[in-house]
Amino acid sequence: MMKCCVKGLVATAFMLTFLIVPFFVCAQVQSDRELVVLAINDVYRIEGVEEGQRGGLSLIRTLRDQLERQNPDLLFLHAGDFLFSSLVSEWTQGAHMVEMMNALDGATGKFDPRMFVVFGNHEFDRSLRKDAALLQTHIDRSEFQWLGANIQFTQENGESVVASKNLTASRIVESGDVRVGLFGLTTDRKSAAQIGYVDQFLNPVEVAREQTKNLRERGAEVVIALTHLALDKDREILEELGESGPDLIIGGHEHQRHHIEVDGRWILKADADARTATVVRIQMIGEKPYISFGYRFLKRGKLAPDPIMLGNVDRILTNHEKWFCSENHEEGGCLQAIVGKTAVPLNGEELEIRRYETNLGNWVVDHVRAASRDADIAFLNSGALRVNQTIPSGPITRRQIEELLFYDSELVRTELSKEQLKAVLERSAEDWVGQGHWLQVSGLAYQHDPRNPEGQRIQNLKLFHNGKLKELPDRPLQIVTNKFLSKGGDGYHMLKGLKWTSVLFSLKERIQSLLHESENPIAPRVDGRICNLPEVQRRPCAFHSP
């Protein structure tokens, strides 16, 4: 049994008619009032994944419409990351996402008082001082409310450079005859020093304390924090604040679903690109809220895409391809061009590539290492491999490569000691819940035990060349990685300041050239270079080969 009540009653399971997975709910009690919340997070592709068969905004529109037939004042929440980064956002600078999200209530041109979003770290991808005007325009054109309680935007002449009637720290809204207080918290993963129009991100724990107190004093019966924070920071908020904190955290950032209880309160997150949506029911028994929740898997065949939204998706993608091909001086339809073939499915699913070794990760990073003669090892952050789906066996298209390597980083070569390499790999294993800083590696094998405390998860480092394990040499290791990591990105501060030399300007061009030149389909495999000790029975391990 899973305990899920805010106040701690025993859980039982039930199923609502519109769900295909069970909710986790409190013992059945007579409720005099209740509200329902639909939530998504980290949505980059308006069309979804797997050629539109899973996720996407047209299926979200259908699901919202279904839920609103039973709950007309449903709350709809988006926990951040949508303006950027995607192949289409390179063209629209995020405007297409605002357009599509404005249509999620089925009434464009009209403000939606029950839709709330929080800033994700990718909302700040356009981070120069001049880009404040772009963000301001997106917020002004939004027909929904933005929440940003812990962001201090830069002031000029006594006024914030980003301000709008559609932007506030918190809001109280009534739903299901319940007064709900909402506030937004944003990660400082991209530090304020990197953003030309943000002075600082305030401590989310202290802001959560202040906002919860303020909202309760203003009459909120239920307080929900809409966050785009790392999971450990969400947990810290509930652990430190207890009853002084929110009743529920609806979050994003990890790209995979989580439901974590902390002393009777919950952190809930869905999968990226709307593969799943979180549905929450909050029942009021007197003055006490009781929370139940479940996930809806969004898939064609289970849900029919909204035809108007689907038409808008097709229009935007068609116009984007025309722009892309023209911008690159290529013939129309260039994104559908076949650039190579694969004999096996290439696993780029974020649930896998951000936690484990995958054949797609191996193939890309092996070519990263091969870009520099005599390099010992290469590594690449999984967040740089953004296709978020399995590429099926058969043709590989230009679009798939463009999406895979959206951040086309320069490759660099540097030197690391054994101790520095160990620190790098320990960082890779931190917050082992599917983070983009997880590394795909080449030329290296090691054992990983996620059951151990952080800092003690990596053991038995070896060179791994041509399927053979070798001891690390008694000299500095020659490493190839991307420029992003070499500058300390994704928390790899131990790499910042190291001397490096450029070895390749465009990884994307190298990959496309290799595919084009290959006479045979590629067939990469998982060879056990990252040996996950608890899973050696079902995943390859180079250390346990016969």
* DSSP result, 460-480: EEEEEETTEEEPPPSSPEEEE
Which two tokens mark 536?
């050696």
Question: Do residues 119 and 159 touch, judged by C-beta distance below 8 A?
Answer: no
Return the SS3 of 12.
strand
Q: Report the alpha-carbon distance of residue 371 to residue 502 in Å, rounded.
A: 10
Q: Break the chain down into helix, strand, coil percent, rounded to 5.
A: 30, 30, 40
Residues linked to residue 228 through DSSP beta bridges, in sequence order:
186
How would CATH label the architecture of 11-310?
A: 4-Layer Sandwich (3.60)
How crowded is the C-beta side of 191, counted as CA atoms within 13 Å? 6
- The candidate with the shortest Cα–Cα distance to 302, out of 65, 105, 52, 59, is 59
The residues, any chain, with a CB within 8 Å of residue 538's CB and separated by 6 or more, are none
Secondary structure (H, E, C), 211-257: HHHHHHHCCCCEEEEEEECCHHHHHHHHHHHHHHCCCEEEECCCCCC
- Interior angle at CA 86, CA 495 and CA 192, nearest 5: 45
- The candidate with the shortest Cα–Cα distance to 195, out of 119, 270, 250, 103, is 119
Q: Report the alpha-carbon distance of residue 94 to residue 200 in Å, rounded.
A: 23
How crowded is the C-beta side of 471, counted as CA atoms within 13 Å? 3
Q: Which CATH code is given to the segment(s) 337-544? A: 3.90.780.10
- Interior angle at CA 320, CA 317 and CA 324, nearest 5: 135
How crowded is the C-beta side of 144, counted as CA atoms within 13 Å? 24
Question: Do residues 367 and 304 touch, judged by C-beta distance below 8 A?
Answer: no
pLDDT given for residue 138 in this prediction: 98
- The candidate with the shortest Cα–Cα distance to 184, out of 146, 215, 233, is 146
| CA 149 to mean position of chain CA atoms | 21
Q: Report the alpha-carbon distance of residue 12 to residue 24 in Å, rounded.
A: 7
| CA 361 to mean position of chain CA atoms | 18
Q: Report the alpha-carbon distance of residue 269 to residue 275 in Å, rounded.
A: 12
Q: Report the alpha-carbon distance of residue 187 to residue 80 in Å, rounded.
A: 10
pLDDT given for residue 388 in this prediction: 86
- The candidate with the shortest Cα–Cα distance to 478, out of 445, 497, 500, is 500
Name residue 84's amino acid.
F
- The candidate with the shortest Cα–Cα distance to 323, out of 96, 91, 47, is 91
Q: Report the alpha-carbon distance of residue 324 to residue 334 in Å, rounded.
A: 8
Backbone angles phi, psi at 264, to 5 degrees: 85, 0
CATH 3.60.21.10 maps onto the chain at 11-310
Q: Report the alpha-carbon distance of residue 402 to residue 16 in Å, rounded.
A: 40
pTM of the predicted model as reported, rounded to 2 decimal places = 0.87
Backbone angles phi, psi at 31, to 5 degrees: -100, 135
Residue 525: its H or E element: none
CATH 3.90.780.10 maps onto the chain at 337-544
Residues linked to residue 391 through DSSP beta bridges, in sequence order:
346
Name residue 136's amino acid.
Q
The residues, any chain, with a CB within 8 Å of residue 90's CB and separated by 6 or more, are 406
| CA 100 to mean position of chain CA atoms | 19
The tens-digit pLDDT sequence of the chain (546 residues) is 233 444 433 333 333 334 444 444 444 556 679 999 999 999 999 999 988 899 999 999 999 999 999 999 999 999 999 999 899 999 999 999 999 999 999 998 999 999 999 999 999 999 999 999 999 999 999 999 999 999 999 999 999 999 999 999 999 999 999 999 999 999 876 666 789 999 999 999 999 999 999 999 999 999 999 999 999 999 999 999 999 999 999 999 988 899 999 999 999 999 999 999 999 999 999 889 999 999 999 999 999 999 999 999 999 999 999 999 999 999 999 999 999 999 999 999 988 999 999 999 999 999 999 999 999 999 999 999 988 899 999 999 999 999 999 998 899 999 999 999 999 999 999 988 778 899 999 999 999 999 999 899 999 999 999 999 999 999 999 999 999 999 999 999 999 999 999 999 999 999 999 999 998 999 999 999 999 999 999 999 999 865
pLDDT given for residue 32 in this prediction: 75
Backbone angles phi, psi at 254, to 5 degrees: -80, -20
